[in-house]
Amino acid sequence: MSPVIAKPMHQESAKGPEARCSFERSAAAIAENSRYVAGGVNSAFRIGMAGGPLVFSHGEGPYLFDIDGNRLIDYYCGMGAMVLGHTPHSVQQAVKDQVDKGILYAGQSEVEFEAARILCQYIPSAQRIRFGSSGSEVAQAAFRLARATTGNRIILKFEGHYHGWFDNILWSTAPAKDAAGPAEAPSLAPGSKGQDTSDAAGLDVLGWNDLPALEARLARGDIAAVIMEPAMCNQGAIAPAPGYLEGALAACRRNGTILIFDEVITGFRLGRSGAQARFGVTPDLSIFAKAIANGFPVAALVGRGDLMDMFATGGVLHGGTFNSQPVTMAAMVAAQNELTAQQYESASRRGVRLRDGIATILQESGIKAQVTGFELMFHVGFGLDAPARSYRDLLKLDKVLYVKFAHALLKRGVRILERGAWFVSFVHDDAVIDATLEAVRSAAQEIAAGK
Ligand SMILES: Cc1ncc(COP(=O)(O)O)c(C=O)c1O
């Protein structure tokens, strides 16, 4: 029997904030196709959606269209990847042109060198680069390089920071309170059943934004690398405390440890040159993915020439059939060329208007919340009395109420992540922001009234 995918019935007109979208066709398609695709989804992070996982027919600018015919203003933005929106013409055209020239060469191409030169031009830590296909994968390359360089085994990470789904690093990404241990000496908590628990021996965890704790741990001299999101954006949207990144770099230098910034989210969102330029701290290595090629599977490990050249002459192996695949490289070059200062400036103004507008509406509706973060990526945290400074503060989030809010917004044609993150693109224009704020007001009233 062929899978049931209902024919889309697109409703192109904007729905008013009271309009109710329904998602029956998505629900039916997920139920039917769960016979073929485990859970009906291809990533664990797509399962727990309020209203159920949705099935989409197409995207356009800031919108996604689902098979129920709903037009949704999209703040997932491909989990942060679609900084140019869903249909940037120049990227689409570059991909079409490259497809005509061949798909995979298993050799070098001019377009990958062009992509590399762009990163080296804009990213402070990028003296050399290596491309991969996902953030998870290039994080592994960074660990291997750090271990080879230092001779140490342990990678030090922070609670609430996520660096991919692989066994050796999927620890303490969002631990429950009872699994997290004491704040001053956190326990390593696995993120999945089936993980190789012996990997914990190659890892340690600390609370983030606590410089004395980091300095004390590094002084033991056994850490190969410290990896962190330079602004914590997987959980919450938390800026580094003043002096924290500088202090972390200095402590790494003192102890012969490699500092890795995971800019998979912050890269090309906190600015053209990433969080490292915004905060003025240049790490040894950095990883980028997501927005680097606006939705095409490109990731990059970039860093100091002497470290990166270990891949060439130092006996450190890095491979991958799809690394620097020309079609994705063409997408990357086109996407990178769209990242202009002028675009950042105008999109940032709109992002701030949205962020601050949400905060005002929630306050007026009597919903206790903290809205924190940046222009093109921020976090709405229900139930918090004060802005979170690290993961432990986020344990106080009222997640149940936020899921209700996310669902109320979805019914009004606005799609947000249930974990509180909002991703804004260059094409969320003022009219889209206005429509969103109207829907936020209506959804906030609904949940404040306990409906
Ligand atoms: C900060 C961060 N690092 C690494 C990753 C892993 O990237 P990928 O999903 O491309 O493997 C993610 C994914 O969400 C991320 O947010």
Per-residue pLDDT of the chain (451 residues; tens, 9 = 90+): 344 444 444 444 445 566 689 999 999 999 999 999 999 999 998 887 777 899 999 999 999 999 999 999 999 999 999 999 999 999 999 999 999 999 999 999 999 999 999 999 999 999 999 999 999 999 999 999 999 999 999 999 999 999 999 999 999 999 999 999 999 999 999 999 999 999 999 999 999 999 999 999 999 999 999 999 999 999 999 999 999 999 999 999 999 999 999 999 999 999 999 999 999 999 999 999 999 999 999 999 999 999 999 999 999 999 999 999 999 999 999 999 999 999 999 999 999 999 999 999 999 999 999 999 999 999 999 999 999 999 999 999 999 999 999 999 999 999 999 999 999 999 999 999 999 999 999 999 999 998 6
Task: Name the token pair of 112.
Answer: 């990958």
Say how many C-beta atoms besides its own lie within 10 A of residue 400's C-beta. 9
Distance CA 262, CA 358 (A): 28
The pLDDT score that the predictor gives to residue 451 is 66
Instruction: Write the pLDDT tens digit of every residue in 383-441.
Output: 999 999 999 999 999 999 999 999 999 999 999 999 999 999 999 999 999 999 999 99
The tokens for 153 are: 């085994």
The span from the CA of 438 to the CA of 369, in Å, is 18
Beta bridge partners of 158: 206
Q: Give the dihedral sign, CA 119/121/124/130.
A: positive
37 alpha carbon to ligand 1 midpoint, in Å? 22
Minimum CA distance residue for ligand 1 atom 9? 135
> Which residue from 43, 270, 290, 294 has its CB within 8 A of the most atoms of ligand 1, so it is best to mutate?
290
For residues 164 and 154, give the distance between their C-alpha atoms in angstroms, rounded to a whole number. Answer: 17
Q: Is 217 in the pocket of ligand 1 (CB under 6 A)?
A: no
Place of tokens 């899978």: 3
| Alpha-carbon span 179 to 308, nearest angstrom | 37
Atom of ligand 1 nearest to the CA of 135: 7
Instruction: Report if pTM > 0.75.
Output: yes
The C-alpha atoms of residue 333 and residue 117 are separated, in whole angstroms, by 10
Average pLDDT taken over every residue of the chain? 95
Q: How far is the CA of 174 from the centre of ligand 1 (A)?
A: 14
Name the closest-CA residue to atom 8, ligand 1: 135
Residue type, 364: E
Residue type, 314: G
109 vs 195: CA distance, rounded Å = 38
What would the two tokens of residue 96 be? Answer: 């079409």
Q: Among residues 263, 323, 274, 298, which one has the least CA distance to residue 121?
A: 274
